[in-house]
Amino acid sequence: MTACPFGTRRTRRWIPWLSISVPTLGWLVFVLYPSAATIYYSLTQYSGVPGAPVNYCGLCNYQQAFTSLSSQTWAALKVTLVYAAGVTVLQIVIGLGLALLLNRRGRLFSLYRALVFMPQIFSVTIVAALFSLILDPVSGPAEKILHGLFGASSAFLGDSSISLPLIILINVWMFSGYTMLIYVAGLRRIPPELYEAASLDGCGWWSRFRRITWPMLAASTTVNVFLTAMGCLGEYALILLLTDGQFGTQTIGMYMFQQAFGQQSQLGYGSMLAMLQFAMTLVIGGVLLFTLRRREVQL
């Protein structure tokens, strides 16, 4: 038996407790406390300015959100759902398409996959700055191309009818590489014998995809759909930088950010919106996970 250098048998009993105490402390300070504080602040009228009075007002913020300000709240919830659904569907379709296209051996395909994944490593600020310049309606290249090809012009991000779809596309451009990588990993786990057998049975490409590839990618789809949808339900950074929540792009996350940390910050109201966002994420996340896992079992 090897001797333990740390203390006697008596003191050694404390080692497990000490070991978990550090992460527990971290959890208490960085997870439990902020969560509890958000719940509490959502019940107050508080500007968020350190040292300013925190006035407890019960459910006043919740009441306001669903009575006098309900149109604003529902509009933000609706935009969030459209945004999350749009990004999730497009990202899954494009990510899967790219995975099928680039799941081949060879240095060139490795390079292509790296290029497709690259936008993921850019910060949101860089991506937003890049697309703000591209989509500038006076001096941006998008305007020149649109004008050159169709003789038309557009305000792009300043046009309420297309600003949300544009942000959805930018998000998809940024994160499709990640979705692709998860699908590539899934594709490589499918036994080639299944395809060989299907080919011998005379199955075409579409039939092989529908009966082998898609069902065998169920676990990858669960991960991709869940992660993408959850990320989108809390989205605000890209929107903040591109449109500041204007032109029909105010998601619940953006609305919360503006209320809690905007120029005339009201952290109490913002915390209430954070609680609404949490509840929405919990419900949608739960439903998605339940449905997708059940689908995995069925397949």
Partner 1 sequence: MSPVGSRPAGRSPRRLLRPLSVLGVAALTASVLAACSSSSSDSQTLVIAEWTNAAAVTYTQQIDSLFEKEHPGVTVDLETAPTANAGWPTLESSVLASKGVDVLAEFPPGPAAYPPNYTGIVPGNPAALVTSHQLVNMANEPFMKYYNKTNAEYAAGYDGGIYGVPAAEYVNNGGMWFKPSLLAKYGLSVPTTYNQFIADCKVFKAHGITPVFVAGKDGYQNILFAGIYNQLIMNDTPASDATTISLNRNVAFWKGTQKWTDPVYQTTASEYEQVMQYIEPEAAGVSAQTAPAEWAVQSSNYPFFIDGSYDGNTITQANPSLNVGFFAFPGTNNPSWNRAPLAPDLTWTVPTWAKHKTLAMEWLELFSQPSNYAGWVKATGSLSTETSVATPSLKWTGWLSANMSNAYDALTTPWAPNGAPTNATEPDTIAMQPIGSVPPATELQDSTNNYANAIKAAK
Cα separation, 146 vs 18, in Å, equals: 64
CB of 4 to partner 1, least distance (A): 8
Strand 55-56 relative to strand 44-45, pairing: antiparallel
For 95, the token pair is 């990510």
37/118 with CB nearer partner 1: 37
The residue (of 47 and 103) whose beta carbon lies closer to partner 1 is 47
DSSP string, the chain: -PPPSSS-HHHHTHHHHHHHHHHHHHHIIIIIHHHHHHHHHTTEE----TTS--EE-TTHHHHHHHTTTHHHHHHHHHHHHHHHHHHHHHHHHHHHHHHHHH---SHHHHHHHHHHHGGGGS-HHHHHHHHHHHT-TTT-HHHHHHHHHHS----GGG-TTTHHHHHHHHHHHHHHHHHHHHHHHHHHTS-HHHHHHHHHTT--HHHHIIIIIHHHTHHHHHHHHHHHHHHHHT--HHHHHHTTT-SS---HHHHHHHHHHSTT--HHHHHHHHHHHHHHHHHHHHHHHHHHHHHHHH-
Footprint on this chain of partner 1 (rule: CB under 8 A)? 1-7, 9, 45-53, 55, 61, 63-65, 67-69, 71-72, 132-133, 135-139, 143, 153-160, 240-241, 243-244, 246-247, 257-259, 261-266, 268-269
Minimum gap (Å) between residue 29 Cβ and partner 1:
15
Instruction: For the CB of residue 81, give the shortest distance to partner 1 in the complex, in Å.
Output: 20
Query: In the bound complex, what is the minimum distance in angstroms from residue 174's beta carbon to partner 1?
Result: 17
Which is closer to partner 1, CB of 53 or CB of 148? Answer: 53
220 or 258: CB nearest partner 1: 258
Judged by CB, which is closer to partner 1: 91, or 258? 258
Q: Work out how close the CB of 205 gets to partner 1 at its nearest, in angstroms, rounded to a whole number.
A: 42
Name the minimum Å distance from CB 124 to partner 1.
11
Closer residue to partner 1, CB minimum distance, 36 or 111? 36
**Shortest reach from residue 84's CB to partner 1, in Å:** 22
Give 7 or 165: the residue with its C-beta nearer to partner 1. 7
